Every structure is written in structure tokens, then in C-alpha cells.
Amino acid sequence: MNKSVKTIAMMAVMAAATVTMTTSCSYGDEIDKLKDKTTDIDIRVKTLEAQMATANSNIAALQTMVETLSKAEYVTSVTKNADGYTLTFRSGQTVTITDGKDGHNPLVGVKKDTDGIWYWTLDGEWLRDDSYMKVRADGEKGDKGDKGDKGDKGDKGDKGDQGDKGDKGDKGAQGAQGAKGDKGDKGDKGDQGITPQLRINEQTNEWEVSLDEGKTWKTTGIKATGEKGDAFFKSVETKDDVVTVTLIDGTTFEMPLYDTLKKIRDRVQSIVYVPEFADGMISVDNDKDVTITYSVMPKALALAIADNAANLSLDGQEVKTRAEEAKANAALTVKKAEGNAETGKLTVTATAKGFAAGKYYAFALTFTDGVSAYQTAYTTAFCNVEAESIFIGIEGLQAGMATVKMGSYLQLFVKFTPGYTTNRGITWTTSDEKKALVDEYGFVTVPDGAEDGDVMITATTANGKTASIILTIADGKINVNTDQLKQEAAE
């Protein structure tokens, strides 16, 4: 039995005993009456204890729901109890919300402020701490600070002066290494959500609230005794894919409900592929994982679908391209899926096997409940092909034209072998920027006041294949010996 409530009961018993013993001569009758009063008080004490337990349990349940909303969780089941409901969440966590019964309960609730954060309320007003700050119902810990940068390396010492009689001077000592940068400060701790606690004061018989885990208490001014009290929750309603919990003060919580795989499947409105590249296709490498992103509506379903990755598959079909027909032996096998209920993004990780270079395939994501299925549109997929070799060509020139004098600029291009190379990224470099410059697109220009002479322009692929061409700069003009070019470049 709660000590404070028990104290209230004992004080009442002692007072009753004093009055009885001074006004009655029949001790047997009075003892019976006293026993009846004690029994009545014990019942009232148990009722008050139950009130406190129920109130604190409901507060804990309320905070769990707030945290669930902030994490974009969803409800998997709702069970009706004798005096309330039990909600089970995706994480497996359960909360039981129970309506208040005897006595007047403080109306502890939560509301979202204009900053998007949930705060505790008491009888409709913001619950505030000793600094008159609103008490937050949820919060995360701050991030750890970044590590400081490493100090710069010291400069190399100067070379010693030439010694007398032709002796070479000593080599200067190497500069000391710069000091290591200081470690970054640890990030400030974020405001943590606080769970208020309630109790009944043994002297005043009023509800009190604590914001520091029972170290200090403040009165609410609300008496704990009286007629049947206010219910903590007004209603819990389940409709389609939403559980709506309404508090007495009118605050509502809407949480997605996905209790069966079939309901998840039936509620899918759309799953659309989100291209990673401008060509809108999926590029893969055999025996490696590829991530494929989809946009799901309703957004909350992205998390529920990801939790059922075993029911996802990527189904392929044949695609004709360049007069060739791809064999349908290529496969994308789903390994895992991740969902974000706030953005509606569903990221599927799959392993690629059996893709033939130079051929095209198409895949659709399928989500099934075992009876019916939702399938996306097909998206073209192909195998990444690295270059085996490259050569450089020049727009407007071909082999056999001897030495050709160009202007102060020219456009280079690269031809790949095999022709169906897909990874066509090129890095262009020049051997001498005083003679010629080249940009990321292979466009060569002669700078003002350029020096005469030869300069080499080199193209390098992502897998390290290279090709070069020699240009001769004379009087600010580019001269090209076309013997370096291949006939194929003009085809």
C-alpha cells in the first residue's frame, strides 16, 4: 500500500476511534463500527492507489505514443480490454491505456507547439518547470562534435650554403611536423523528453506532480477524493489504416495501423521507381549489390513494406534493343529493404547475376500477400561495362591528312572499345598548361602568350585506360599530325 495514502487512512481511523471512545459506553458495538470504518477506509485507500497507478501508467503510455509518432512507427494491433485498450507497435512494444475511475484525475496531456515539438500539458495549460520552460515530451541526444583537423606539416628546412674551397654545405634540417589539431568538442546534449509522475499528498490529499523522477513535487491543486472522476482518454477508434486516440482535452493522435499483410497490400496506392541517373535506367554489376529506390503512397506504407522484405521480388522480362533480344536469365535477388514513413522512400538492395554485357533487361518490383500482388511498372536495367581500350579523335579531322594547322582551339572526343561500354567517364589532362589547356569535355584552348612547342593531351577512363595525342603549338595556333588518329574516328 502507498505510504502517503496509508497515512491518510490511519489518521482517519485514529480520529474516528477518539470520537467513538469518548461518546459511547458499549465498547463491543463501537469496536464493530470502528472495524467497519477501517474496512471502508482500506477500500478507499486501495481505490486511491489504483488511481495513482492508472494515472502514471496512462502518462507513460502517452509518452510512448508521442515517441512513436516522432519515429514514424506504426501500430500492428489494437486489443480491447475491460477498461481500456492495448496497442502493439511495429517494434514489439506495447502500451495499455486505461480510463480513469474514482476520484478526480489531473488532466495531464500533450500538445504539439508551433515548433513542431510535443510538450506536456496540465488541465489544458502548458506544464512548466521551475524556469517556467515548457516540459518536452520527447527529445534526442545531441550529436558528437567533429574531430579536429590534423595540423599542417612543417616546412622543409633551407639547403645549407656552399662551403669554402668548393665543399658542399650541409643540407638544412627538415621542418618539424605541425601539431595535431585539437579534438572537436562533444555536441550539446539534446533536450530529453521527461515523464511526469503523479502522487497524492498525505497531508493535503491533493494530486502532486514531479518532473525530476520523484525528487521534488509540486501541487496541482486538485483533490484526489470525490465522485467518479474524469477519464484520461476519451476514445480509441480504428478505421481502415488509422488508429485515432483522443484525449479528454480534445488532443488526437493518428497512428497508421498495418495489422495484416493483406491490408498492407490492399492499401498500396502507388510504388514508383525513382531514377538515380538521368537516363532513368538501373545499372548493375554482376555478383554485386545494387540499391533501387521507390516512392510509396501512402508514405507510411514504405516502412511496413520494408518490414516485409521477404514478400518483395524483382521480376524480369526480355527487352529487344539494337535488333538483339536479351535472354531472361538475368536476375536481381532482393536481399533487404529499408523504408521511411515520413518521406515514403523505399530502398531495395538486390544482388545482380547473369547480366550479359551490351544487352538490356527490364524489372518490376512485386509486393504480394500470397494471394494478390502489387507490381510496379518495368524499368530498364543493364550491366555496367568498363572500357577495354580507348583512342582520341578530333572533330573534322581524320587520318592521312598530314599536319593540319587549326585555330587556337579544337574539340577532342574519345571512342570506346567495346562500343557498348557503359562507364564512359573521362578525365582530361594536359602536360603543359603554358602551351595548352583542356577542360572536362575535351575542349582544348591555347592561352594568351602560349609558348611554342609540343604538348600532350591525355584522356583517362574510370578503370585506368588511357590514350594521348601530341599537339604542336606555333604562334598561338594548334598543329596536328593526323598520323596519330585512327581511321575509325571519322566513321
CA 162 to mean position of chain CA atoms: 65
For residue 240, pLDDT beyond 50: yes
Give a yes or no: residue 355 inside a domain: yes
Residue 57: φ, ψ to 5°: -65, -40
If one compares 211 and 381, the residue with the highest pLDDT of the two is 381
Give the pLDDT band (50/70/90) at residue 143.
Answer: very low
Distances (CA, A) of 129 to 59, 414, 415: 17, 70, 71
346: in domain: yes
Provide the pLDDT for residue 210.
76
> At a CB cut-off of 8 Å and minimum separation 6, what does 329 contact?
354
Examine the domain organization and report whether 214 and 270 are in the same domain: no
* Same domain? 341 vs 404: no
Examine residue 58 and state whether it is found in any structural domain, yes or no: yes
Q: How confident is residue 340, by pLDDT bands cut at 50, 70 and 90?
A: very high
CA 466/CA 392 separation, integer angstroms: 9
Residue 171 lies in a domain: no
Pairwise CA distance, residues 442 & 436, whole Å:
12
- Are 247 and 288 members of one domain? no
How many structural domains are present in the chain?
A: 3
Is residue 329 domain-shared with residue 369, that is, in the same domain? yes
Asked, for residue 148, whether it belongs to a domain, the answer is no
56-70, 88-102, 170-184, 287-301: segment of lowest average pLDDT: 170-184
Helix, strand, coil percentages in the chain from 3-state DSSP, rounded to 5: 20, 40, 45
- Between 58 and 262, whose confidence is greater? 262
Asked which of 201, 231, 256 is the last residue of a domain, the reply is: 256
Question: Is residue 289 located within the same domain as residue 374?
Answer: yes
Predicted confidence (pLDDT) per residue in 402-423, tens digit: 899 888 999 999 999 988 888 8
Model pLDDT, residue 247: 78
Mean pLDDT taken over the chain: 75
Decide if pLDDT at 367 tops 90: yes
Instruction: Quote the pLDDT of residue 344.
Output: 93
Residues 135 and 280 in one domain: no
**420 and 457 share a domain?**
yes
The CATH number of residue 478's host domain is: 2.60.40.1080
Nearest to 84 by CA among 75, 76, 94, 93: 94
For residue 458 the three cell numbers come to 591525355
Strand partners, 257: 75
pLDDT at 476: 92
pLDDT in tens, 258-308: 888 998 999 999 999 999 888 899 999 999 999 999 999 999 899 999 999
CATH number, position 310: 2.60.40
Q: Last residue of a domain, which of 328, 361, 383?
A: 383
- The residue with greater pLDDT, 181 or 213, is 213
Residues 10 and 75 in one domain: yes
Pick the most confident of 40-49, 72-81, 213-222, 348-357. Answer: 348-357
Instruction: Give residue for cell 570506346.
Output: 416
Looking at the fold, whether 203 and 348 belong to one and the same domain comes out as: no
115 and 242 together in one domain:
yes
Whether the Cβ atoms of residue 370 and residue 313 lie closer than 8 Å to each other:
no
Contacts 24+ apart (CB under 8 A), 399-404: 399/482, 399/483, 399/485, 399/486, 399/487, 399/489, 399/490, 400/482, 400/483, 400/487, 401/482, 402/481, 402/482, 402/483, 403/472, 403/479, 403/480, 403/481, 403/482, 404/479, 404/480, 404/482
- What length does the chain have? 491
Nearest to 187 by CA among 142, 242, 250, 236: 142
Last residue of a domain, one of 331, 352, 383: 383
Q: Is 177 inside a domain boundary?
A: no
The pLDDT confidence band at residue 200, using thresholds 50, 70 and 90, is low
Query: Long-range pairs for 376-379 at CB < 8 Å and ≥24 separation?
Result: 376/271, 376/272, 376/273, 376/294, 377/272, 377/273, 378/317, 379/273, 379/280, 379/281, 379/282
Q: What band does 374 get if pLDDT is binned at 50, 70 and 90?
A: very high
Q: Is the pLDDT of residue 365 over 50?
A: yes
Does a structural domain hold residue 176? no
- Looking at residues 219-234, what average pLDDT do you find? 59
Please state the rounded mean pLDDT for residues 420-439. Answer: 93
Residue 324, pLDDT > 80, answer: no
Q: CA geometry: angle at 403 spanning 401 and 405, to 5°? A: 110
Distance of CA 16 to the CA centre of its chain: 63
Enter the C-alpha cell of residue 476: 598561338
Task: State the Cα–Cα distance between residues 46 and 66, nearest whole angstrom.
Answer: 30
Compute CA distances 218 → 50, 74, 202, whole Å.
21, 35, 13
- The reply to whether 327 and 436 lie within a common domain is no
Residue 295: the pLDDT is: 97
β-sheet bridge partners, residue 141 = none
| Domain assignment of residue 181, yes or no | no
pLDDT per residue over 144-166, tens digit each? 444 444 444 444 444 444 444 44
**pLDDT grade for 91, boundaries at 50, 70 and 90:** confident
Over 60: is that where the pLDDT of 168 sits? no
pLDDT of residue 149: 46
- Give per-residue pLDDT as tens, 105-142: 556 667 778 887 877 777 677 777 777 788 777 754 33
> Domain check: are 118 and 232 in the same one?
yes
Distance CA 110, CA 132 (A): 17
As given in the structure block, the three cell numbers for residue 423 are: 562507364
The answer to whether 13 and 37 have CB atoms below 8 angstroms apart is yes
Domain range for residue 357? 262-383
Q: What is the pLDDT of residue 428?
A: 97
